[in-house]
Structure 1
Amino acid sequence: MKKTISFILSLTMVFAMSATVLGAEQQSISTFASTGSDSTGSFSILSYNIGGLPAMFSSSGDPKNYIPQIGAKLHAYDLVNVQEDFNYHASLYANDTHAYRTPTSGGAGIGDGMNFLSKFPFEDTDRETWKDRYGFLDSGSDELTPKGFMYNQVKIADGVYVDVYNLHADADTDPKSEAARRSNLNQLATYIEQYSKGHAVIVFGDTNCRYTRTEDNLKALFVDRLEMKDVWVEKIRNGNYPEMGKEALLGRSGETSADNEVVDKIFYRSGAGITLNPTSYKVENKYFTDSEGNQLSDHYAISANFTYTRDNRIVYSDLWGGPGGIAFNFLRSTSPISHRPVSVAIRGDNRVDAISMTYDDGTVLTNGGTGGTQKTLDLESGEYINKAVIYKDEYKGADRIFYLELTTNKGRILKNGKKSGTALTLTAPSGTYIAGFFGRAEANVDKLGVIIRTLK
């Protein structure tokens, strides 16, 4: 139980990185070195509405000249969410050095203005337009472009995944804009409940909300509902949320203080096996300026630093597959940590349709659809799964899981689906076993990884 993560992370991973013929298994071995030093770490984030509307409509002053300067300064942060990245996007990226970045969705009137820049790899990007927006030539003009939110799953380190959300909510304070903004919060919260259950989450962007504004009801609709925390409230206000209905906390513009609430926010929550802890919060009132001290946007950027810590009893493997389906995590339940599997089942035929485990407390965890035929392996006393072979291949334009083979410490095998495409083999080292799964699934299993647990 108290073995260090460095022991757990001595995982043997086997990859067949070139295409294989149907039914043939081609493998090459790559052994991950111990990454125990990565069981804790840190990263920085930035949220910035960069005011990138065409110059004639922009309130940021001089976006053509300012946005290249913004791009040159973003390297100081590990994860960056930008909003209103419209007509000067090319100059932003031309001056930025992040290794991983989302492609633009288009200029004003076409794209949503949101992009994500990261020093860490990410997958499963999804852009969602708000169901409700209000205002064409007034009330924030939110209907002139498809504003909404963006999702990315980021691999901060081996075994450390964080779901990152960007948003730009409806603007203005007229009744119809306020109603649209409440709808925006509800839409995003519903998505997080469905797609990020059990996951560590950070949401940062332009909410156009204030805690003091009764009509926004921000704390109840978003923070309390999702059990998230606001980094400004945690680090600057000692956990005390502003009271709804009171005067707006305008403070001194650009100042990091308890009485200066900005509409740009950073929310976070920890996930199963991953603890997030913010260590700082700052309104960036000096860094994003030109040589004469002018602000480079009509919004101040906000930043925060985080540390992460992994539960030393478990570790997540790499993921294998495509972006379809809905994210799932068997650690949405405590059973994979507190109890041993007594049986495992794979449903499939031409592909893998579903995966499930039953634990010795009676809990059954299942994800996927109802197609194919189910095959089940009941585990004997002292038996556990220590190896998984996962094949992915393309189906209808995206990778899905075609074949899964599980082997126990007694040499028994459960398999389903058809071998096709490329294979990943995950082997748990001595003293550990496969306690569960995570990935993406709906009608089929689209992406799959395993959760390794120390033997009791």
Structure 2
Amino acid sequence: MKTKIKLISSLFVSSLLLLSCDNSSEITNDLSVNSSTPKASNLTARIAVSGNILALTYNVAGLPAIISSSSPDANTAKIGQLIRNYDIVNVQEDFNYHAKLYENDNHPFRTATSGGVPFGDGLNTLSKYSFVDFERVKWNSCNGTDCLTPKGFTFMRLRLKEGVYVDYYNAHPNAGDATADLNARKSNIAQLSDYMKIKSNGNAVILMFDSNCRYTRSGDNIRLLMDNNGLTDAWIKLIRNNNIPVLGSPALDCDASNITNTCEEVDKIFYKSNNQITLTASDFSINNSLFVDGAGLPLSDHFPTAVNFAWSQNDLYTASDLFGGPHGDVFSDITLLSATSKVNKIVLRGGDRVDKVSFVLSNGTTLSHGGNGGTEKSLVLNTGEYINSVNMCSGKKDGKTRIFYIELKTNQNRTIAVGSKTSNVFNYIVPTGYQITGFFGRSATEVDQLGFFGVSL
């Protein structure tokens, strides 16, 4: 990108188990109108929960034609048509030809553009799966012409099926190999790693991005994402048999006319499973021969990189969809649950809204989320008693969607509830053979968003 944006400075001077819920309007802040939250379903029988994701990451070289090293005006439409074959696509440098890309694509769930040069970050996602909690985050550091666009990374929760969410990232760190460029890029990778530690703690993750990093380059810290976040690089695992290139060794890049999967490209795909969801990568491919024009020339100055992910949910667990708004801090109890997890006591706090939700497990662990407002209610469960259904309502407070009402019901027909009902309703019945044992969602002084984990009986 470094050489492609020498003239940006001159251009700068001249130039998403709901029946009905406010949740979708909150989440679609930066989404297309198609990115609505799926309807709730009341499952009463266990079904197989698995599938495949054909994923692609591609820097589409969408800088203004005058400074682009590609031909985006002619090539972007064809890129839009070719990416239809993939289940989910991350693009970078999707700047001034964004409209052509989307006009020729048919994915039902897509992020809205943040703008062309110099206003946007060039990052977008096109998906067959719906998503929630979309965020754009700007880098804290940049150098040179990279500072002329608000480059950074994006985050979303990709919904594969009911209750099955993968934390999904796109990113574009600082380009270049000068000392100042390397320092900025190291800061970018560290910022992404730190964000992921908090936002995606215990969650399954997919990161597909133009890293601008090479394992062989001494000034790059791409290993941080493996060492600090437990991510796996699909190229390292599938092509190099887990053999990471030696830092400081000769670059493994290839001439554009002789690209093979053994070449190290800066366009990378990382992933991580968790206790609930297993991600298995296969079929890593640099699809250079597919993305060419009529003369056989590449459609971009980067090559599209693809991986097929097989995913499955651990039969030990089940989960509900998320309900509520994208506010407060993210939490998940998945790492605290096991095959023997059982709720002994329910503790709720609430008044006009739901202030806190808590479970005390049989091993003494307390799972608690929210603040200390409202009035406390509690229910000690009997021997053989477990939570099997949930009713919730959401509403607006200070312009933000929050959980206004929650009712938990057990298999012995006992209930506990706090808060106030609204017309925005969520119903969930745990599948037969499971019991509700934990939470995931977002909270601060109140509960903003809530989902439930179940463990097999």
Partner of residue 48 from structure 1, selected from 58, 61, 86: 58
1:286-435 maps to which residues of 2 (within 5 A)?
286-335=289-338, 337-435=339-437
Between the aligned partners of 2:303 and 2:19, the Cα distance in structure 1 is: 47
Give 1:247's aligned residue. Answer: 250
Other structure's SS at 2:236 match: helix
Matched-pair contact (CA < 8 Å) for 1:46–1:302: yes
3-state SS in 2 of match to 1:176: helix
Matches within 5 A, 1:23-422: 31-32=42-43, 36-37=47-48, 39-60=49-70, 62-135=71-144, 141-219=145-223, 221-253=224-256, 255-258=259-262, 260-335=263-338, 337-422=339-424
1:321 shift after superposition: 1.1
Deviation per residue, 1:375-433 (Å, 9 max, x gap): 22222222211121111112333321111111222232221121123111212244322
Cα distance, 1:29 vs structure 2: 9.5
Q: Greater CA deviation, 428-437 or 157-166?
A: 428-437
Separation of aligned partners in 2, 1:328 and 1:417: 21
Of 242-251 and 99-108, the range deviating more from structure 2: 242-251
The Cα of 1:40 is off from its aligned counterpart by 2.1
Distance 1:109 1:426, change over 3 A: same
* TM-score normalised by structure 2 residue count: 0.89
Percent pairwise identity: 42
5+ long unaligned stretches in structure 1: 1-12, 20-27, 136-140
The question of whether the paired residues in 1 share the 8 Å contact of 2:42 and 2:427 is answered with no
Is contact 1:273-1:314 (8 Å) kept? yes
Residues 33, 409 of structure 1: alpha-carbon distance in 2 compared, 3 angstrom cutoff: closer
Residue range with higher mean Cα deviation, 417-426 or 103-112: 417-426
Displacement of 1:166 in angstroms is 0.1
Distance 1:119 1:452 in 2: 26
Answer yes or no: is the 8 Å Cα contact 1:35–1:158 preserved in 2: no
Find the aligned partners of 2:40 and 2:269 in 1 and give their Cα distance. 41
Report the RMSD for the aligned CA atoms in angstroms. Answer: 1.9
Q: Distance in 2 between matches of 1:30 and 1:237?
A: 43
State the aligned residue count: 424
**Separation of aligned partners in 2, 1:54 and 1:428:** 52
Amino acid across the alignment from 1:116 = T
TM-score, normalised via structure 1 length:
0.89
Which amino acid in 2 is paired with 1:45? A
Q: Which runs of 5+ in 2 are unaligned?
A: 1-16, 23-38
Q: Report the AA paired with residue 314 of structure 2.
A: D
Contact kept, 8 Å, 1:194 with 1:326, in 2: the verdict is no
Q: Deviations over 1:168-201 (max 9, x none)?
A: 0011111111111111111111111111122110
